[in-house]
Amino acid sequence: MLETQVLTTLDDLPSGQWDALFEDTLEGFDYLRAIEGAGLAGFEWRYVLAHRDGRLVGAVPAFITDYRLETTFEGASRRIAEQVRRLAPGVITPKLACLGSPCTETATVGFAPDLADAERPIVLSALVRAFGREAVRSGCALSGVKDADHAQAELWAAAMKQGGYSPVSGQAIADLDIDFPTIDVYLARLSSGVRKDMRRKLRSRPKVRIEVRSDLGSDLPRAMDLYHQTLARAEAQLETLTPTFFTEVAARMPGHAVFVLYYVGGDLLAFNLLLEDGEVLLDKFFCMEAERGRAHNLYFLSWFYNLERCLARGLKRYRSGQANLADKVRLGSRLTPTTMYFRHRNGLLNGALRALAPLVMGDPLEGLAA
């Protein structure tokens, strides 16, 4: 018999039990615990567990926050939503209970490795129902899933349909297989125009000093300034990171978290937080001063530095995240779709959101096919 439980802190669960269910992820117990300890304003954390005969067989992280719906809208739809929020904030800024994490690439459910495939839909459905009860208990009008893992698409789709959730296309994730022996071979695969453009951009490299560190140290205040500049340019962002987030990740993930800093004339103009294991380099955050950073092509220098790091360390895949997808496609990445799900407790509002969602969200892959 399955028994479910919802924790409010990972401190109540041994790290080995959690990570045993998430064998192939960099964003495991230590990363989630760093998020929990970062003091992100407006967030409460949940961890939904399923046990069978006293043994942990399934788990998924979750969070609760006040969610501004207009952040997912575009153009005129966003302006209308902002006006509605001022008149009726409870409608357009509902309390959201969401499976997944604001700081991970996907919502991935962990299963005991020996759990039969036929049992996994049963476990996921139990986790979804348990979180639904937690959402009601916490007074959440809106429930959802943030960026359901494409590798588990069928599992998520079945569980969400059963729970009455509606799907919406999420932001795609960019990956590049490191199946080339040198940067020159990689460049040769790109179109002639892109190859010429990249070689021109790389000429700025001698003016840039690159430093690799296990923490930000005394550069943390400047790094936070760069982060806030980058955040201000973003179209939408669910969370705002804190200095503690970066120090917690560094402290909890030695050997897996690395900071790459980009200096010009002694000034720190960009930094990159990378997570890595023996297979994958995961680009979590690239933050840059806009004008001078672009003048020195720092985004593209970071791209090539990261590829060189993959080659030097024998890594097989570079996962570069969900931003700047057009550039990443030009640079040879493949895009993997994600799906978000939502359900409003009010039937009328749920129907309205279901009708509006495809219109205001659009297709994040449109126009980006390689």
Read off the pLDDT of each residue in 51-62 and give the average, rounded to a whole number.
97
Residue 50 located in a structural domain? yes
pLDDT tens digits along 197-237: 999 999 999 999 999 999 999 999 999 999 999 999 887 67
Domain total for the chain? 2
Whether residue 314 is found in the same domain as residue 353: no
Q: Which helix (H) or strand (E) element contains residue 299?
A: helix 298-313
Whether residue 105 is found in the same domain as residue 49: yes
pLDDT of amino acid 88 = 53
Residue 271 located in a structural domain? yes
| Nearest residue to 137 (alpha-carbon basis) of 64, 49, 51 | 64
Rg of the chain on CA atoms, in Å: 21
Please check the confidence at residue 189 and state whether its pLDDT lies above 50.
yes
DSSP-based three-state secondary structure for 147: strand
Two tokens, residue 42: 């407006």
Whether residue 34 is found in the same domain as residue 98: yes
pLDDT of amino acid 73 = 52
Residue 137 located in a structural domain? yes
Whether residue 154 is found in the same domain as residue 55: yes
DSSP-based three-state secondary structure for 32: helix
Whether residue 185 is found in the same domain as residue 308: yes
Whether residue 293 is found in the same domain as residue 181: yes
Whether residue 30 is found in the same domain as residue 178: no
Pairing of strands 95-99, 142-148: parallel
Residue 89 located in a structural domain? yes
Residue 159 located in a structural domain? yes
Confidence of residue 346 (pLDDT cuts 50, 70, 90): confident
pLDDT tens digits along 119-159: 999 999 999 999 999 999 999 999 999 999 999 999 999 99
Whether residue 16 is found in the same domain as residue 134: yes
Whether residue 91 is found in the same domain as residue 205: no
DSSP state of 107: B
Q: What CATH number corresponds to the domain at position 232?
A: 3.40.630.30
Two tokens, residue 100: 């997944």
Whether residue 220 is found in the same domain as residue 327: yes
Whether residue 156 is found in the same domain as residue 15: yes
- Quote the domain boundaries for residue 57: 2-170+339-361
Residue 368 located in a structural domain? no
* Burial degree of 192 (CB within 10 A; 0-12, 13-18, 19+): exposed
Return the residue matching tokens 């007074």. 139
| Nearest residue to 65 (alpha-carbon basis) of 165, 7, 138, 147 | 138
DSSP-based three-state secondary structure for 183: helix
Residue 149 located in a structural domain? yes
pLDDT of amino acid 154 = 96
Two tokens, residue 181: 């022996």
| Nearest residue to 304 (alpha-carbon basis) of 158, 190, 159, 161 | 190
Whether residue 181 is found in the same domain as residue 150: no
Residue 367 located in a structural domain? no
